[in-house]
Amino acid sequence: MTDHFGSCLCGTVSFELTGDFDSFYLCHCQHCQKDTGSAHAANLFSQSAKLAWRSGADAVTSFTLPGTRHNKSFCKLCGSALPSTQIPGLLVVP
């Protein structure tokens, strides 16, 4: 197992990921372009890795685009993208 650590830009939210990733995708759909403000979104995906919030879990919020599976978790203080578990059984890490 591999451990990874991360945080948002302002440092309010920190997290730990334990496990391995299944895949990495650069998505260039219009939703990901608008979501990131760039040509694509880069995300790691895992069906087995575990996410633990080390601090600031109450500052994490999520948005799901109605009628789609497109969602984003982010820090409600600084807006940094954060790992998401909004799709059951799938961890998405930007």
Of 50, 52, 30, the C-alpha closest to 40 is: 30
> Phi, psi at residue 30, to the nearest 5°?
-65, -30
All domains of the chain in start order, with CATH: 3-93 (2.170.150.70)
* The predicted structure's pLDDT at residue 34: 93
> What is the pTM (predicted TM-score) of this model?
0.91
Tens-place pLDDT, residues 44-57: 999 999 999 999 99
Mean pLDDT of 79-93: 94
Average pLDDT over residues 67-71: 92
pLDDT at 81 over 90: yes
Whether residue 80 is predicted with pLDDT greater than 70 in this model: the reply is yes
State how far the Cα of 72 lies from the Cα of 94, in Å rounded to an integer: 9
